[in-house]
Structure 1
Amino acid sequence: MGLVRDMLCRLDRTGVDPVSWQAPAPPSELPDPAAEFDALERWPMPGSTGPEDVAVDGDGRLITGTDDGALWRYDHLDRPGAERVTRIADTGGRPLGVEVLADGRYLVCDAERGLLRVDDTGRVETLTDNALGRPLVACNNSAVGVDGIVYFTDSSAKFSIAEHRYDLLEHRGTGRLIRFDPVTGETDLLADGLQFANGVGLSRDGSFVVVAETGAYRIRRVDLTGPTAGRVSVWADNLPGIPDNVASQTAAGIFWVALYSPRMRLLDLLAPHPALRLLAANLPDALSPDPEPRAWVLGLDGDGTVAHNLRGPKGSYSPVTGVRESDGSLYLGSLTATAVARIPAPPTRV
């Protein structure tokens, strides 16, 4: 296999240098049986694609960004037939994670430009495009504390968001979770060595933050207060799907997690074989296996235990990369879809 890998390295056009790892066997079942939903509303994007994340402001308006650099606002989603969409701004890059700030402005993780602040007039301000002496290669998702401190991910030190497949195949764990103070402009490192660091969510009391590791099917927790401040631990392990964005804890105690797709058996089988993964990285896109198209979100409680398991039928809205709860609904975003979507939120559990 070493000779084969040497030959593949000479032919490689991607720069991928995979390491061997053992993927855990997918869980046979979850504590909560899947609740399949059929009722799904969609609002098309006006000529744009890929509303990767979604946020809802205090007036119930939906905010999202698309692959043409645009930031959009949907009004009146509670009044069927009266919906209105407004193009707020153009970031000049690729907006991903979106948060609504306390003053009504928007915090945007732009995959190409870094951490941005945007207002309704269309003004785009770069807060930072680097952290700890390194440029942001793949600024992805964030959460904001009540004190205004920002927690965000830089998914990979080597591959851009557009090249995320290469990072997953390489599996060297170069992602990081970063804390940013918008007053001082200072950054500090909360966790590194993450397998494609992705979604970020804060606990209601601000005592910990969670970060999704897309390439390891797990979510890590970083303690922010108390005697264990700074401790990094596994919070939810061996998820049944590929985790993407995470929404901060709701009043009911739930962290919503978007699952890009169910686990891909072929990807897991290739995990111990770097040469085969190098070969897979160099296959034309047309020959690369596609994930199963299925809408899927999990609701995890404060201990990382699955409390809600919601799936759409095969072929439903996908891939789900963003999820946000507001006023009895779950709003969904997608890296490649041409619409945002909404499903009913499950009843609050006591």
Structure 2
Amino acid sequence: MLKKLILTVGLLVVLLAAYLALWPVPVRPVAWVAPADPGYAGAFAVNDQLASLNMIDLGHEEGPEHIAVGPDGKLYATVASGNILRMNPDGSAQEVFVNTGGRVLGFDFDAAGNLIAADAVKGLLSVSPAKQTTVLSNRVGGQPIHYADAVVVARGAGAGGKMYFSDASTRFAPAEWGGTFEASVLDILEQAATGRILEYDPATKTTRIVAHGIAFANGVALSTDEKSLFVAETGKYRIWKIDVQARDLNVGAGPGTQASVLLDNLPGYPDNLMRGLDGKIWAGLAKPRNAVIDQMAGKPFVRSMTLRLPRALWPVPKAYGHVFAFSEDGKVLADLQDATGAYPETTGVTETPQRLYVQSLHAKGLGWLKRVPGM
């Protein structure tokens, strides 16, 4: 009996080892060098300024991933159900403005009052004030746009209302991999850096590639003079500054004359970028750094193995609320944190003269703080 038991256990061990080593996984991990985590120090020293959020009840909705004030003065918010909600600034009179049938992650408004949406499933969309939805772009260079994530509309003279948006990953489309969060985990785990920034010109109805080689291209904001784009590279903890005139620029090859790293080695994964008041740009860190994940950066095989483990054993970073504001020259102007992570996956901030609305991937309500001048 003992010999049989030993043989059985040995066989199970062999089968487990074979499973961990050989079972097919969807990623082809690429080795990279993760910078040493500086932790919460300097401009990002630990604080609790995000710990006392006021909450707007969203009913059965959750995950106000992106928030913006429309031309009508109303507050618009995308939520996990796929709805775009519309409400008064105090959260009253909530209604479903539209559901595109996909999953809008980021949006902006053009000069005509149309809501321009980056829909992770359907591409770049325009939703008129009358709620009519039009697909502006879902392909570039003959290839599909897999994961439209964030968008900003140029407003300056001569810009012609050009729209700049991120295609977070050309490898993992949310519609094919279980949703936006699941697809983002696969892309960041793989580190193939297939994300890109695209430009849609409504005058010519054409789409072109501004830059590529980005490890999960996420939030996008324009400089005041609209000559540069600020881009959150979620997978590598940094924010780029890229010339809007760049054409199919490979930022993965490193900084150059048309692209530079504005903020590097952040203490978390940067998400949305939103223009605030007084020249500020707000960023959200959806998750903090994780030592285990950084240690696996140069170990592609180990990263493949993690996908063969039960999801509960994945090294997912803990919840940690964190948003900050920076200037166009990369100086951190404000930093708000909550180590408890009570308001989870903070993706960004929408600043109005009265309030700071805090965006979140999974929160059950919409958090806000009274805006303090000079914050």
Q: TM-score, normalized by length of structure 2?
A: 0.84
Once the 2 structures are TM-superposed, how far is the Cα of residue 68 of structure 1 from its aligned partner? Answer: 2.3
Cα deviation, residue 315, structure 1 = 2.9
Q: Report if the CA contact (8 A) 1:299-1:309 is conserved.
A: yes
What is the aligned counterpart of 1:18 among 21, 29, 45?
29
Deviation track 1:122-152 (CA, whole Å, cap 9, x = no partner) reads 2211111112221011110011110311110
| In structure 2, distance between residues paired with 1:39 and 1:283 | 37
Q: Aligned pair 1:241/2:268, yes or no?
A: yes
Q: 1:193 aligns with which of 195, 213, 232?
A: 213
Give the structure 1 partner of residue 105 of structure 2: 96
Structure 2 residue aligned with 1:44? 57
- Greater Cα shift, 195-204 or 51-60: 51-60
Question: What aligned pairs does 1:218-229 form with structure 2 within 5 A after superposition?
Answer: 218-224=238-244
Deviations 1:253-304 (CA, angstroms, capped at 9, x unpaired): 2110011021112111111111110011232222223322222101111111
How far apart are the structure 1 equivalents of 2:197 and 2:20? 33
1:347 aligned partner, one-letter code: P
Q: Corresponding residue for 2:176?
A: none
Q: Which residue of 2 aligns with 1:204?
A: 224
Determine the C-alpha separation between the residues in 2 that align with 1:5 and 1:347: 59
| Aligned residue in 2 for 1:61 | 74
Q: Give the corresponding residue for 1:165.
A: 185
Q: Which amino acid aligns with 2:186?
A: Y
1:5–1:214: structure 2 CA closer, same or farther, 3 Å change rule?
farther
CA contact (8 A) 1:201 1:247 kept: yes
* Structure 2 letter corresponding to 1:292: K
CA distance in 1: counterparts of 2:245 and 2:299, whole angstroms: 41
The yes-or-no answer on 1:231 pairing with 2:240 is: no
Q: Which residue type is aligned with residue 31 of structure 1?
A: A
Match among 43, 67, 82 for residue 31 of structure 1:
43
Q: Does 1:154 align with 2:167?
A: yes
Q: Secondary structure of 1:122's match?
A: coil
Superposition deviation, residue 8 in structure 1? 4.9
Partner amino acid for 1:244?
Answer: D
How many angstroms does 1:208 deviate by? Answer: 0.8
Deviation at 1:59, TM superposition (A): 4.5
> What is residue 140 of structure 2 aligned with on the other side?
131
Go from structure 1 to structure 2 and tell me whether the alpha carbon gap of 1:122 and 1:11 turns closer, same or farther (over 3 Å shift).
same
Aligned-pair CA distance for 1:233: 1.5
Matched position secondary structure for 2:94: strand
| Ranges in structure 1 where 5+ consecutive residues have no aligned partner | none
Residues 1:5 and 1:268: Cα distance change in structure 2 (over 3 Å): farther
CA distance in 2, matches of 1:332, 1:126: 29
Paired AA for residue 62 in structure 2: T
Count how many residue pairs are aligned between Structure 1 and Structure 2: 339
Native 8 Å contact 2:323 2:347 kept in 1: no
Aligned counterpart, 2:249: none
- Post-superposition Cα deviations, 1:314-342, rounded to whole Å, max 9, x if no partner, equal 13211112321111322122222222211
Coordinate RMSD, CA, aligned: 2.4
**1:254 and 2:285 are equivalent in the alignment:** no
Alpha-carbon separation, structure 2, partners of 1:42 and 1:122: 28
1:269 maps to: 295
Which residue in the other structure is 2:201 paired with? 181
1:307 is the counterpart of 2:318? no
Higher Rg of the two aligned structures = 2
